[in-house]
Chain A
Amino acid sequence: MAKPHPDTKYIEALVNNNTALINEIYTRFADKITFMVTQNSGAEADAADVMQDALVAVYHKALSGNFLLSCPFEAFLYTICRNLWLMQLRKKSRQPVTNNGDVQYDKGTDIFKEAEAVINNNERRLLLEKKFDLLGEGCRKVLELAWSGKPLEEVASLLNNTYAYIRKKKSECMGRLAELIKQSPEYKTLLW
């Protein structure tokens, strides 16, 4: 099994919102991300947005409980940013990101696979969040409480309803959410 890389400190910094170490991430890596974006049809502001999106995506992946950084953070972050920017360019139908020739960023490497996993997790999260927000308030409340780990009996009590009603309501609301997700164009493009 792979050992955690010493740069795991940056992952922990994101999880703990450690301002000093996050600042170090920007000091060390912002220029490289900016160069990649500005060399590929983007502006510095785009680089700031891409880097922010990447760091938030890493934060969520780290908290999903299924993540181990086994490579240098620089290559990992760069690959995520590069792929995120490539996706944006595709959406805007601009030029594809040019290959900088660095073999460590190529497909098939562990870095690329780890970066892909973060991006797929992020896209899935964004889709699930977006569709969850479209549910009615009643559904959102039942599902939020049920997914917070509370037993359905307690959820029923909190919402002044019967257990049977809440159990039925929960499955119906999950059905609504599943339908919203299936109808979205992104659904078929993501790994589930």
Chain B
Amino acid sequence: MTDEQYHIIDQYINNQLEGEALLAFELQLQQDAELAEAVRLFTTLNNEMPAIIKNKPGGEVLKKNLQQISEPHFKNKQAPVVSLKKSKIYQIAAVAAMLIAMAGIVFWQLTKPDKVSLYAQYAGHSEIDLVSRGSIEQEALAKATEYYNNGEYATVIPLLQPILDKDSTNNQYRVILGRCYIETNNYENAFAQLNSVAASTSAYKYEAVWLTALAWLKQNKNAECINALKTIPESDDHYTEAQELLKILNDK
């Protein structure tokens, strides 16, 4: 819809349309479903947004109070899993699924004329949960989690980068940012995040190596991708898929 149409809708819901203009608009409303939907949405926004904006600060204050009050009532709680890696059950299921899928993928690779990129096949998408109770950045982390899980990688970057800048030792944030930069084709920034983790002894070391390999793959730099894949050890979660990808690249 055009800005002019939005302007007329705004006039209509504020009773500022009169005479022939009003009659013409109402006739159009009966015939144009998209216009009718836009009018409904404008009405909803005008009805609900004033209260949403007004009550948001009070909601935030209540949330903080609830966090404090609730603490003694959940004594045995464990911190939520803050992990980019998959759970054990998921890993087992994923390996099983992968073995079944491998034969299919190889067949599909050989037969599909219009190939989806190898990157798209291997990058996948695991859900994350960055929210950590007690963190002062809970709201931003919750938003970053939601956007990441929705695949809205570009929106995650401005939320997560400032948090990482303040908490520069957090390798989980670093690899997630690295993935977001790969998805947005900003490889320089992706490598800037991933290289230090890949060179460390962090638990996220091989997650970073795997993402580095995928970053090279996405740029069709197969030799660099192969070099990175070869460093992933058998003990790592990504070993099976790394070996599978190596085979495909070496066969090219």
Task: Decide: A48 and B52 in contact? CB cutoff 8 A.
Answer: no
| Contact present for A48 and B70 (CB under 8 Å) | yes
Q: Is the CB of A43 within 8 A of B50?
A: no
| B61 interface residue (CB < 8 Å to A) | yes
B143 within 8 A of A: yes
Interface magnitude class on chain B: 35 or more
Whether A45 lies near B155 (C-beta < 8 A) is: no
The number of inter-chain residue pairs (CB within 8 angstroms) is 131
Of A26, A27, A56, A65, the residue contacting B59 (CB under 8 A) is: A56
A109 contacts partner chain B, Cβ-Cβ < 8 Å? no
Residues of A within 8 Å of B74, CB to CB, are: 30, 34, 44-45, 47-48
Interchain CB contact (< 8 A) of A22 among B5, B66, B127, B143: B66
Give B103 Cβ to nearest chain A Cβ, in Å.
24
Q: How far is the CB of B155 from chain A (nearest CB, A)?
A: 7
A134 touches B155 (CB 8 A): yes
Whole-angstrom distance between the Cβ of A21 and the nearest chain B Cβ: 10
A45 with B133: CB separation less than 8 A: yes
Known: A30-B70, A47-B74, A56-B63. A63 touches B51 (CB 8 A): yes
| CB-based contact B50/A147 at 8 Å | yes
How close is A191's CB to chain B, nearest CB, in angstroms? 11
* B25-33, B41-49, B202-210 - the one binding chain A: B41-49
Distance (whole angstroms) from the CB of B248 to the closest CB of chain A: 28
Q: Which of B10, B37, B80 contacts A43 (CB 8 A)?
A: B80
Please count how many residues in chain A sit with their CB below 8 Å of the partner chain's CB atoms. 53
A112-126: which residues lie under 8 A (CB-CB) from chain B?
124-125
* Contact A182/B41 with A22-B66, A26-B73 known, Cβ cut-off 8 Å: yes
A144 CB–B CB distance under 8 Å: yes
User: For the complex, is B168 an interface residue (Cβ under 8 Å from A)?
Assistant: no
Give bound CA distance, A60 to B74, whole Å: 24
Binds B, one of A73-81, A97-105, A167-175: A167-175
Distance of A181 Cα from B133 Cα, bound (Å): 29
Which residues from A are CB-within-8-Å of B53?
A: 132, 144, 147-148
Interface residues of A in 57-79 (CB under 8 A from B): 59-60, 63-65
Complex CA distance for A5 and B187, rounded to whole angstroms: 59
Q: A17-B61, A48-B77 are in contact. Are A192 and B45 (CB under 8 A)?
A: no
Pairwise interchain contact A23-B7, C-beta atoms closer than 8 A: no
Asked if B122 is at the interface of the complex by the 8 Å CB criterion, the answer is no
* Cα–Cα, bound, A52→B78 (Å): 16
Can you report 28 A-B residue pairs in the complex whose CB atoms are below 8 A from each other?
A: A14-B62, A19-B65, A26-B69, A27-B73, A43-B77, A44-B77, A47-B77, A51-B70, A52-B63, A52-B66, A56-B66, A60-B59, A63-B51, A64-B48, A65-B51, A125-B48, A132-B53, A147-B46, A148-B54, A170-B10, A171-B3, A172-B6, A174-B6, A174-B42, A174-B45, A178-B45, A179-B1, A182-B41
Chain B residues with a Cβ under 8 A of chain A:
1, 3, 5-7, 9-11, 37-38, 40-42, 44-46, 48-56, 58-59, 61-63, 65-67, 69-70, 73-74, 76-80, 127, 133, 143, 146, 150, 155
